[in-house]
Structure 1
């Protein structure tokens, strides 16, 4: 083949790969959230800065990727195609990162775990020392977030979540149950009394946790028919703020039953109310092939073992028994009496 013909063939087969990866990454965030405001908050940048990346990607692809609607930012047909390609790029990039990290001699292996904010902050993080002592060469990255992580794209190696994912190519096992009950602080009960039944909740200021994987609307429908604005006295978006609010005497709230063992000053109220939630362990088959990830998965399973921590079992245990159970099993909470310390 002549040099000229080779040049022509090269131009014909050449694929333009000069895409800005930040453009693609931010595009995927906006596609997932469907909201410019939420996407900008997640990306920690202004909405105008985010839109500049989207416009730049539209210029590179020569197509409109989103339509603005009353419901938010909706992908066009071309946008759906770009999302499919972008998600594939993201997954391959993360797989490449896994390989490259393992190939570097002397570098500590890293396991990435996603978990809901309350379970991560108040339950799993206080137990990290157990894993660190057993596996000193493994670095643990815990992402406490109510948004379910992108496990298919290997955003994390595995996750603990309250909603079962729909993806069929992930490995999903039941880790346990989370039992939800109503609580108020001793200070609040002394001042305003305790609601005796769920029907009494509407007469007390309610502290609502608004976040992904938290069905607050279903809870409200179950306990009261009052107008939502009258029912809620305080609305927060993190479990830590919720715990601070209730231990400070701001009202009544719904917490896992093990909160009674964390904060003995909490009072179990409206005792006819109880909601069980599933706790799921979810991981990507490829991630589980890594020895350090498998060890971390086993550690998480032990941390939710209902034989040692019966409040994660299927059977409902009265919150007032939690502190006694914890004492029988040793100092499970001695290093992290968070709610009490915050009062």
Structure 2
């Protein structure tokens, strides 16, 4: 059997008017995302020298430099950034084609297990996974939502989405997005305590809610912005899951830090522009052999697409203010439709069967 290097030897330079070679583009996309030939080589199970030659072939085909090599990794040129966006669109189209073909011949079957932090699992992936399961009806999707990191090397899950940088050297890992966190407050809280003016005003005159759980950086955030402030009398509530954290803030328990996409959940939360924000990178990890299993490979590809910052701007590296998310989200559907299961809906008025019973005139 030929090595990847030998199998790729037949690739030819691009001729204007021909479709770009997806194998070359896929390699470029992986190197650009990871930022290093060495790390990308580990990810793709190929040699760094082979990847470098493939990128050079792509550059010669288009007669332009796409990336520059440095001691600490690679940097994309202006043309490289443009090609990166086009490559992402090719990847998305490729995934769409895979879904269509598999819908036509749904041959995948079995169980796939994905572990994810509780908030991202509940509010984002669970609604999306319905689409994946319908595309592959022969699959049983086991979604595990908890703040503890799953040990995929010990096969606790086939893949995991987490908010801390994976430190196990044998893991396959991809940064798939970024979570932007900022403080929010509910209208009911403002009615009682007033609108917070700045960070000092919060420390002196307000109450906060903390999510004290793994992968949230709650302790680091508290030490940075409320150093020396005793929690008793200042922290109104501590909780260990995202759902309780969201509801306590929405009901007015205190000011709390939430992802910038939460206004789409339906509650009228108010973002506070007081310069107290932070970010958490979103990482996908899986066992080195996981991609050899077709059903797991499909779930990995789908998960990467689900956190594409180009399509879902609240997961992009650049901060997008909550008030600008609908404008930045380029799809035609309202943003709240992505979280339709959680938005508020008007409930029908319940009409008593015997409306006059209270007045004593019923029969």
Same fold, TM exceeding 0.5? Answer: yes
Conserved in 1, the CA contact under 8 Å of 2:158 and 2:287?
yes
Q: 1:167: how far off?
A: 0.8
Conserved in 1, the CA contact under 8 Å of 2:311 and 2:330?
no
Q: Secondary structure of the residue that 1:334 maps to in structure 2?
A: helix
Q: 1:275: how far off?
A: 0.1
Match of 1:334 in 2: 337
- CA RMSD in angstroms, aligned pairs only: 2.2
Change (3 A) 1:196 1:342: farther
* Residue 163 (1) aligns with residue 167 (2): no
Match of 1:234 in 2: 237
Conserved in 2, the CA contact under 8 Å of 1:265 and 1:340?
no
Mapped to 2, the partners of 1:338 and 1:220 lie a distance apart of 32
Mapped to 1, the partners of 2:275 and 2:336 lie a distance apart of 27
Conserved in 2, the CA contact under 8 Å of 1:208 and 1:234?
yes
Change (3 A) 1:133 1:286: same
Mapped to 2, the partners of 1:292 and 1:230 lie a distance apart of 51
Mapped to 2, the partners of 1:191 and 1:152 lie a distance apart of 50
Q: 1:134: how far off?
A: 1.4
Q: Secondary structure of the residue that 2:233 maps to in structure 1?
A: helix
Conserved in 1, the CA contact under 8 Å of 2:212 and 2:219?
no
Once the two structures are superposed, the pairs formed by residues 283-298 of structure 1 within 5 Å of their partners are 283-298=286-301
Change (3 A) 1:124 1:246: same
Conserved in 1, the CA contact under 8 Å of 2:115 and 2:160?
yes
Mapped to 2, the partners of 1:298 and 1:164 lie a distance apart of 20
Mapped to 2, the partners of 1:283 and 1:253 lie a distance apart of 32
* Residue 314 (1) aligns with residue 350 (2): no
Among candidates 252, 276, 285, match of residue 273 of structure 1: 276
Mapped to 2, the partners of 1:180 and 1:171 lie a distance apart of 26
Q: 1:193: how far off?
A: 1.7
Conserved in 1, the CA contact under 8 Å of 2:176 and 2:307?
yes
* Residue 126 (1) aligns with residue 159 (2): no
Mapped to 1, the partners of 2:312 and 2:108 lie a distance apart of 35
Q: Secondary structure of the residue that 2:122 maps to in structure 1?
A: helix
Q: 1:191: how far off?
A: 2.9
Match of 2:304 in 1: 301
Mapped to 2, the partners of 1:339 and 1:199 lie a distance apart of 33
Mapped to 1, the partners of 2:146 and 2:345 lie a distance apart of 21
Number of matched pairs: 238
Q: 1:272: how far off?
A: 1.2
Runs of 4+ in 1 over 3 A off after TM superposition: 323-329, 335-343
Q: Secondary structure of the residue that 1:176 maps to in structure 2?
A: strand
Match of 1:138 in 2: 139
Once the two structures are superposed, the pairs formed by residues 1-343 of structure 1 within 5 Å of their partners are 108-202=109-203, 203-225=205-227, 226-263=229-266, 265-326=268-329, 328-334=331-337, 336-337=339-340, 340-341=343-344
Q: 1:270: how far off?
A: 4.3
Mapped to 2, the partners of 1:327 and 1:306 lie a distance apart of 12
Q: Secondary structure of the residue that 1:281 maps to in structure 2?
A: strand
Match of 2:354 in 1: none
Q: Secondary structure of the residue that 2:337 maps to in structure 1?
A: coil
Q: Which runs of 5+ in 1 are unaligned?
A: 1-105
Mapped to 2, the partners of 1:128 and 1:326 lie a distance apart of 20
Mapped to 2, the partners of 1:299 and 1:161 lie a distance apart of 16
Q: 1:274: how far off?
A: 1.2
- 1:31-60 C-alpha deviation (Å, 9 max, x unpaired): xxxxxxxxxxxxxxxxxxxxxxxxxxxxxx
Change (3 A) 1:342 1:206: farther
Conserved in 2, the CA contact under 8 Å of 1:260 and 1:322?
no
Conserved in 2, the CA contact under 8 Å of 1:178 and 1:278?
yes
Q: Which runs of 5+ in 2 are unaligned?
A: 1-106, 347-363
Q: 1:150: how far off?
A: 1.0
Conserved in 1, the CA contact under 8 Å of 2:313 and 2:329?
no
Conserved in 1, the CA contact under 8 Å of 2:264 and 2:339?
no
- 1:175-234 C-alpha deviation (Å, 9 max, x unpaired): 111000000112222332221222222222111101111111111122223113233110
Conserved in 1, the CA contact under 8 Å of 2:112 and 2:140?
yes
Conserved in 2, the CA contact under 8 Å of 1:243 and 1:339?
no
Using the size of structure 2 for normalisation, the TM-score is 0.61
